[in-house]
Amino acid sequence: MNMNKLAPGRFALALAAAVLLSGTKPVGAAELPVYTVVAKNGKLTPSTLNVPAGVRFKIVVRNDGDGPMEFESLQLRKEKVLAPGAQSFVVVAPLKPGQYDFFDEFHPDTSRGRIVAR
């Protein structure tokens, strides 16, 4: 296929198709660091996540408990409600050094955790 003879819109489409078909990731699509928090019967494990400051990351939240749970962080403006046995995730923008609290809204007295960004 001679790319020089394609209209500009078709060239962009052909280029996008070539990238998709090649199985490669676009530049800048690096994998996010992933941290897992497990909720079970009013407890969050681990209760502390140590993350690098200035780096975007993903928190996988898994509910191994018998009832619903809600991962919530007021400081990060994140919340995720999960049924028993469900799993989901939240993506957190790069953090400044510091501590950021999270908790299970359904068990606020016993399910507390902290993200420490350094």
Task: For the chain, give every domain's residue range.
Answer: 1-27, 34-117
- For the chain, what is the mean pLDDT? 86
* pLDDT tens string 83-117: 999 999 999 999 999 999 999 999 988 999 999 99
CATH class of segment(s) 34-117: mainly beta
Partners of 102 in beta bridges = 113
Per-residue DSSP letters for the chain? --GGGS-HHHHHHHHHHHHHHHTPPPTT-PPPPEEEEEEETTEEESSEEEE-TT--EEEEEEE-SSS-EEEEETTTTEEEEE-TT-EEEEEEPPPPSEEEEEEETTSTTT-EEEEEE-
Residue count (the chain): 118
**In degrees, to the nearest 5, what angle opens at C-alpha 92 toward C-alphas 91 and 94?**
135
* pLDDT tens string 13-37: 555 555 555 554 544 556 899 999 9
